[in-house]
């Protein structure tokens, strides 16, 4: 693929996103698109290192967020883990031009955000026709719908069924730091969810409905860990495709290359900043 080909593809894909025919999936790397350094960790490994700097954990697990979080939960209690995560994501990074562009798309039925930060929600805040559904941690699962909770544009909890009336649904499958600071982070958080992902129970009904007949465009996402791949695979299940992923040229791991091929995800080899510029200035 020539350098011009992924740029031309992204111009077309931006129009598909704007028309509601392609669903954007944001990863933590989109936080690097702002004017300055991100004020929160960007990625599972960066967050794992931050947690390990606050609480001593064995060196062999410092690169694995979920093992690190589980160690802290087991040895220092869940309250300690929740406090550290709340502190890490208390700042809300200013929305980048990509966030602002997505927030301005009235025809975008679904935006998926796979990180814990509140940036995409902040970009959507001026609107009233949107809401958030987020995954919930094992420590806070209650009631008849333990896998996720819904919040309206004002941040008030509401029934997940209310999402059917929203113009745009922001879906954060790994949880969210705002409005209530409930995130999936430890192995214990994920064990039950991963067991149910294949039959789609943890995926909200409105998300399942809105992905029908559509594909996904992954922006700032990486797939080097099994948990990240499992969630991406579950998200795409029963959608129509095609699917695309902006990937930094030459940085893909062997696991990522195999995953993209196995799931028929077309890689677009461009730096994320360049891809975002093409999309927001077609």
Dihedral angle, C-alpha 96, 102, 104, 105, nearest 10 ° = 170
**With a cut of 50, which residues of the chain have pLDDT below it?**
1-2
d(CA 110, CA 105): 10
Query: In this structure, are residues 184 and 137 in contact, taking their beta carbons and an 8 Å threshold?
Result: yes
Place of tokens 């009904």: 205
Provide the pLDDT for residue 139: 74
According to DSSP H, which parts of 19-118 are helical? 44-54, 65-76, 78-88, 97-103
Place of tokens 């970009």: 123
Provide the pLDDT for residue 1: 45
Provide the pLDDT for residue 7: 82
Provide the pLDDT for residue 2: 45
Token pair of 176, please? 């969210």
Query: What is the value of pTM for the model shown?
Result: 0.95
d(CA 210, CA 20): 10
Give the chain's domains with CATH numbers.
4-40+89-280 (3.40.50), 41-88 (no CATH)
The one-character DSSP state at 215 is E
């Amino acid at each position: 693929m020539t350098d011009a080909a992924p740029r031309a593809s992204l111009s077309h894909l931006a129009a598909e996103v704007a028309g509601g025919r392609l669903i954007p999936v944001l990863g933590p790397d989109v936080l690097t698109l702002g004017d300055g350094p991100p004020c929160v960790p960007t990625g599972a490994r960066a967050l794992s290192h931050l947690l390990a700097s606050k609480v001593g954990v064995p060196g062999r697990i410092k690169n694995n967020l979920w093992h690190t979080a589980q160690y802290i939960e087991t040895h220092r209690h869940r309250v300690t883990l929740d406090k550290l995560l709340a502190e890490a994501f208390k700042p809300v990074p200013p929305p980048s031009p990509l966030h602002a562009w997505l927030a301005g798309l009235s025809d975008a039925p679904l935006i998926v955000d796979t990180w814990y930060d509140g940036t995409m929600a902040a970009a959507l805040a001026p609107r009233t026709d949107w809401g958030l559904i987020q995954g919930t941690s094992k420590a806070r699962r209650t009631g008849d719908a333990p896998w996720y909770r819904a919040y309206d544009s004002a941040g008030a909890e509401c029934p997940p069924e209310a999402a059917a009336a929203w113009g745009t649904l922001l879906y954060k499958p790994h949880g969210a730091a705002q409005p209530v600071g409930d995130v999936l982070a430890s192995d214990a958080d994920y064990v039950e969810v991963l067991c149910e992902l294949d039959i789609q129970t943890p995926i909200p009904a409105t998300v399942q409905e809105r992905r029908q007949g559509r594909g996904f465009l992954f922006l700032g996402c990486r797939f080097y860990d099994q948990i990240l791949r499992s969630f991406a695979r579950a998200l795409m299940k029963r959608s129509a495709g095609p699917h695309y992923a902006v990937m930094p040229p030459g940085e893909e791991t062997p696991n990522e290359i195999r995953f993209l091929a196995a799931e028929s995800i077309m890689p677009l080899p461009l730096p994320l900043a360049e891809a975002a510029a093409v999309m927001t200035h077609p």
